[in-house]
Amino acid sequence: MSPVGVFDSGVGGLSVLAALRAELPHEHFVYFADTAYAPYGERGDAYVIERSRAVVEHLLREHGVKALVVACNTATTAAIHLLRADHPDLPIVGLEPGLKPAVAASRTGHVSVLATRGTLASAKYATLRASFAGSADVRPVPCDGLVKAIEGFDSAGIAALAERYMAEAGPFGDGPGEVDTVVLGCTHYPLVKDELAKHAPATLRFIDTGVPVAQQTRRLLASAGRLADATEATGAVGSLLLQSSGDVAVLEAAAARWLGLSAAATA
Protein backbone atom coordinates (compact mmCIF):
# COMPACT_ATOMS: atom_id res chain seq x y z
CA MET A 1 0.00 0.00 0.00
CA SER A 2 1.40 3.40 -0.95
CA PRO A 3 2.22 5.75 1.93
CA VAL A 4 1.22 9.33 2.62
CA GLY A 5 4.18 11.70 2.44
CA VAL A 6 4.64 14.39 5.08
CA PHE A 7 7.43 16.95 5.05
CA ASP A 8 8.73 19.93 6.96
CA SER A 9 12.02 21.80 7.13
CA GLY A 10 12.71 19.98 10.39
CA VAL A 11 10.98 18.35 13.34
CA GLY A 12 8.05 20.75 13.68
CA GLY A 13 5.83 18.75 11.34
CA LEU A 14 5.88 15.94 13.89
CA SER A 15 3.04 17.79 15.61
CA VAL A 16 0.99 17.41 12.41
CA LEU A 17 2.15 13.82 11.97
CA ALA A 18 0.78 12.97 15.41
CA ALA A 19 -2.65 14.31 14.41
CA LEU A 20 -2.50 12.45 11.09
CA ARG A 21 -1.69 9.12 12.74
CA ALA A 22 -4.52 9.59 15.24
CA GLU A 23 -7.02 10.44 12.49
CA LEU A 24 -5.75 7.84 9.98
CA PRO A 25 -4.42 4.91 12.02
CA HIS A 26 -4.36 2.47 9.10
CA GLU A 27 -2.32 4.66 6.76
CA HIS A 28 1.39 4.21 6.18
CA PHE A 29 3.41 7.44 6.49
CA VAL A 30 6.81 8.66 5.35
CA TYR A 31 7.98 11.77 7.20
CA PHE A 32 10.83 13.75 5.63
CA ALA A 33 12.68 16.43 7.61
CA ASP A 34 14.76 18.71 5.38
CA THR A 35 17.09 19.57 8.23
CA ALA A 36 20.20 19.96 6.08
CA TYR A 37 18.51 23.00 4.50
CA ALA A 38 16.55 24.34 7.49
CA PRO A 39 15.13 26.62 8.67
CA TYR A 40 12.74 27.55 5.87
CA GLY A 41 11.06 30.31 7.86
CA GLU A 42 14.08 32.61 7.72
CA ARG A 43 14.83 32.05 4.00
CA GLY A 44 13.46 33.60 0.82
CA ASP A 45 10.63 32.15 -1.26
CA ALA A 46 12.90 30.99 -4.10
CA TYR A 47 14.94 28.89 -1.69
CA VAL A 48 11.85 27.34 -0.08
CA ILE A 49 10.30 26.58 -3.48
CA GLU A 50 13.47 24.85 -4.70
CA ARG A 51 13.73 22.68 -1.60
CA SER A 52 10.00 21.86 -1.52
CA ARG A 53 10.11 20.65 -5.10
CA ALA A 54 13.21 18.56 -4.41
CA VAL A 55 11.63 16.89 -1.38
CA VAL A 56 8.40 16.10 -3.21
CA GLU A 57 10.32 14.59 -6.12
CA HIS A 58 12.18 12.39 -3.62
CA LEU A 59 8.97 11.25 -1.93
CA LEU A 60 7.38 10.38 -5.27
CA ARG A 61 10.45 8.71 -6.77
CA GLU A 62 11.56 6.70 -3.74
CA HIS A 63 8.23 5.99 -2.05
CA GLY A 64 5.45 6.52 -4.59
CA VAL A 65 3.43 8.55 -2.10
CA LYS A 66 -0.31 8.64 -2.81
CA ALA A 67 -0.86 11.99 -1.10
CA LEU A 68 1.24 14.78 0.36
CA VAL A 69 0.94 16.87 3.51
CA VAL A 70 3.07 20.01 3.52
CA ALA A 71 3.51 20.16 7.29
CA CYS A 72 5.15 23.57 7.23
CA ASN A 73 3.46 26.96 7.15
CA THR A 74 6.36 28.59 5.32
CA ALA A 75 6.52 25.95 2.57
CA THR A 76 2.75 26.15 2.18
CA THR A 77 2.74 29.90 1.72
CA ALA A 78 5.70 29.89 -0.69
CA ALA A 79 5.29 26.72 -2.70
CA ILE A 80 2.02 24.82 -2.44
CA HIS A 81 0.44 26.44 -5.50
CA LEU A 82 3.45 25.38 -7.56
CA LEU A 83 3.48 21.86 -6.12
CA ARG A 84 -0.17 21.45 -7.07
CA ALA A 85 0.58 22.68 -10.59
CA ASP A 86 3.55 20.30 -10.84
CA HIS A 87 1.49 17.30 -9.63
CA PRO A 88 -2.18 17.84 -10.52
CA ASP A 89 -3.14 14.23 -9.75
CA LEU A 90 -1.58 14.18 -6.29
CA PRO A 91 -3.81 15.15 -3.35
CA ILE A 92 -1.87 17.86 -1.49
CA VAL A 93 -2.80 19.38 1.87
CA GLY A 94 -1.08 22.47 3.24
CA LEU A 95 -1.16 24.60 6.35
CA GLU A 96 -1.98 28.16 7.14
CA PRO A 97 -2.11 29.91 10.50
CA GLY A 98 -5.45 29.18 12.16
CA LEU A 99 -6.79 32.72 12.07
CA LYS A 100 -10.33 31.69 11.16
CA PRO A 101 -10.90 29.45 14.22
CA ALA A 102 -8.99 31.91 16.40
CA VAL A 103 -11.17 34.87 15.44
CA ALA A 104 -14.27 32.72 15.89
CA ALA A 105 -13.12 31.65 19.36
CA SER A 106 -11.97 35.05 20.61
CA ARG A 107 -14.28 36.91 22.96
CA THR A 108 -12.21 40.10 23.09
CA GLY A 109 -11.52 40.32 19.36
CA HIS A 110 -7.78 40.48 20.00
CA VAL A 111 -5.65 37.65 18.59
CA SER A 112 -1.87 37.20 18.41
CA VAL A 113 -0.12 35.06 15.81
CA LEU A 114 3.20 33.44 16.69
CA ALA A 115 4.90 32.49 13.42
CA THR A 116 8.15 32.61 11.49
CA ARG A 117 9.13 35.82 9.78
CA GLY A 118 8.74 34.10 6.39
CA THR A 119 5.13 33.15 7.05
CA LEU A 120 4.20 36.58 8.36
CA ALA A 121 5.83 38.34 5.40
CA SER A 122 4.11 36.18 2.78
CA ALA A 123 1.41 37.36 0.40
CA LYS A 124 -0.73 34.38 1.40
CA TYR A 125 -0.68 35.45 5.05
CA ALA A 126 -1.39 39.08 4.10
CA THR A 127 -4.47 37.96 2.20
CA LEU A 128 -5.60 35.79 5.09
CA ARG A 129 -5.14 38.58 7.61
CA ALA A 130 -6.91 41.11 5.38
CA SER A 131 -9.96 38.84 5.27
CA PHE A 132 -10.46 39.51 8.99
CA ALA A 133 -9.89 43.27 8.84
CA GLY A 134 -12.57 44.99 10.87
CA SER A 135 -13.63 41.81 12.67
CA ALA A 136 -10.56 41.34 14.88
CA ASP A 137 -7.29 42.96 15.90
CA VAL A 138 -4.59 40.54 14.77
CA ARG A 139 -1.10 41.03 16.19
CA PRO A 140 1.82 39.33 14.35
CA VAL A 141 4.75 38.14 16.47
CA PRO A 142 7.75 36.93 14.42
CA CYS A 143 9.56 34.36 16.54
CA ASP A 144 13.13 34.44 15.26
CA GLY A 145 15.29 31.68 16.68
CA LEU A 146 12.53 29.59 18.25
CA VAL A 147 12.57 26.92 15.54
CA LYS A 148 16.35 26.61 15.86
CA ALA A 149 16.07 26.22 19.64
CA ILE A 150 13.43 23.51 19.29
CA GLU A 151 15.47 21.69 16.65
CA GLY A 152 18.52 21.82 18.91
CA PHE A 153 16.73 20.65 22.07
CA ASP A 154 17.94 23.90 23.66
CA SER A 155 15.80 23.98 26.77
CA ALA A 156 17.25 27.23 28.07
CA GLY A 157 16.84 28.89 24.68
CA ILE A 158 13.27 27.66 24.36
CA ALA A 159 12.43 29.00 27.81
CA ALA A 160 13.97 32.41 27.15
CA LEU A 161 12.38 32.83 23.73
CA ALA A 162 8.99 31.62 24.94
CA GLU A 163 9.05 34.28 27.66
CA ARG A 164 10.13 36.97 25.19
CA TYR A 165 7.61 36.24 22.47
CA MET A 166 4.68 35.68 24.80
CA ALA A 167 5.44 39.09 26.34
CA GLU A 168 5.24 40.57 22.83
CA ALA A 169 1.99 38.69 22.16
CA GLY A 170 0.23 40.08 25.26
CA PRO A 171 -1.22 41.61 27.31
CA PHE A 172 -3.43 38.60 27.93
CA GLY A 173 -6.83 38.50 29.54
CA ASP A 174 -10.54 38.77 28.94
CA GLY A 175 -10.79 42.53 29.26
CA PRO A 176 -11.01 45.25 26.59
CA GLY A 177 -7.89 45.36 24.43
CA GLU A 178 -6.50 42.13 25.88
CA VAL A 179 -5.51 39.07 23.85
CA ASP A 180 -7.43 35.93 24.72
CA THR A 181 -6.37 33.70 21.79
CA VAL A 182 -2.93 32.87 20.38
CA VAL A 183 -2.38 31.17 17.03
CA LEU A 184 0.56 28.78 16.86
CA GLY A 185 1.46 29.61 13.27
CA CYS A 186 4.41 27.24 12.91
CA THR A 187 4.25 23.46 13.28
CA HIS A 188 7.20 23.54 15.69
CA TYR A 189 5.38 25.65 18.25
CA PRO A 190 2.79 23.10 19.48
CA LEU A 191 5.76 21.00 20.62
CA VAL A 192 6.55 23.70 23.21
CA LYS A 193 3.01 24.83 24.01
CA ASP A 194 3.47 23.97 27.70
CA GLU A 195 6.47 26.32 27.87
CA LEU A 196 4.53 29.09 26.13
CA ALA A 197 1.58 28.57 28.47
CA LYS A 198 3.77 29.30 31.50
CA HIS A 199 3.63 32.98 30.50
CA ALA A 200 -0.13 33.31 30.13
CA PRO A 201 -3.29 32.88 32.19
CA ALA A 202 -4.94 29.46 32.15
CA THR A 203 -7.87 30.92 30.19
CA LEU A 204 -5.72 31.75 27.14
CA ARG A 205 -6.63 29.71 24.07
CA PHE A 206 -3.93 28.27 21.81
CA ILE A 207 -4.94 27.40 18.24
CA ASP A 208 -2.97 25.05 16.01
CA THR A 209 -4.01 23.32 12.80
CA GLY A 210 -2.88 19.72 13.21
CA VAL A 211 -6.35 18.22 13.68
CA PRO A 212 -8.04 20.19 10.85
CA VAL A 213 -5.18 19.22 8.51
CA ALA A 214 -5.61 15.56 9.43
CA GLN A 215 -9.35 15.76 8.82
CA GLN A 216 -8.81 17.43 5.43
CA THR A 217 -6.29 14.72 4.51
CA ARG A 218 -8.90 12.06 5.28
CA ARG A 219 -11.46 13.86 3.09
CA LEU A 220 -9.06 14.14 0.15
CA LEU A 221 -7.96 10.51 0.40
CA ALA A 222 -11.56 9.34 0.55
CA SER A 223 -12.65 11.46 -2.42
CA ALA A 224 -9.69 10.15 -4.44
CA GLY A 225 -10.49 6.54 -3.52
CA ARG A 226 -7.12 6.18 -1.77
CA LEU A 227 -8.18 5.83 1.86
CA ALA A 228 -6.74 2.77 3.64
CA ASP A 229 -8.92 0.59 5.80
CA ALA A 230 -8.18 -1.96 8.49
CA THR A 231 -7.96 -4.85 6.04
CA GLU A 232 -5.18 -3.13 4.07
CA ALA A 233 -2.97 -2.24 7.01
CA THR A 234 -0.28 -4.65 8.08
CA GLY A 235 -1.11 -4.81 11.75
CA ALA A 236 -3.13 -2.71 14.14
CA VAL A 237 -1.72 0.55 12.82
CA GLY A 238 0.03 1.70 9.67
CA SER A 239 3.81 1.93 9.51
CA LEU A 240 5.97 5.04 9.89
CA LEU A 241 9.29 5.75 8.19
CA LEU A 242 11.37 8.74 9.31
CA GLN A 243 13.84 10.26 6.86
CA SER A 244 16.02 13.36 6.87
CA SER A 245 18.33 15.24 4.55
CA GLY A 246 20.51 15.76 7.63
CA ASP A 247 21.22 13.48 10.58
CA VAL A 248 18.30 11.09 10.89
CA ALA A 249 19.30 10.34 14.49
CA VAL A 250 18.31 13.91 15.39
CA LEU A 251 14.87 13.34 13.87
CA GLU A 252 14.47 10.04 15.70
CA ALA A 253 15.46 11.70 18.96
CA ALA A 254 12.93 14.48 18.34
CA ALA A 255 10.17 11.97 17.59
CA ALA A 256 10.97 10.15 20.82
CA ARG A 257 11.25 13.31 22.91
CA TRP A 258 8.35 15.39 21.65
CA LEU A 259 5.82 12.71 20.72
CA GLY A 260 6.95 9.41 22.13
CA LEU A 261 7.25 8.00 18.61
CA SER A 262 9.62 5.33 17.45
CA ALA A 263 10.07 4.22 13.86
CA ALA A 264 12.41 2.60 11.41
CA ALA A 265 14.46 5.26 9.69
CA THR A 266 16.99 5.68 6.91
CA ALA A 267 19.21 8.61 6.08
Answer for the pair 4, 29: CB distance below 8 angstroms, yes or no.
yes
d(CA 9, CA 119): 13
Edge-to-edge strand list for the sheet holding 205-207: 137-142, 110-115, 181-184, 205-207
Q: Which of 23, 33, 35, 26 is nearest to 3 (CA)?
A: 26
Catalytic hit among 17, 18, 72, 213: 72
Answer for the pair 11, 259: CB distance below 8 angstroms, yes or no.
no
In this structure, the number of other CB atoms found within 10 A of the CB of residue 219 comes to: 13
Catalytic hit among 65, 183, 186, 240: 186
d(CA 107, CA 96): 22
d(CA 74, CA 120): 9
User: Any catalytic annotation for residue 143?
Assistant: no
Catalytic residue numbers, as ranges: 72, 186
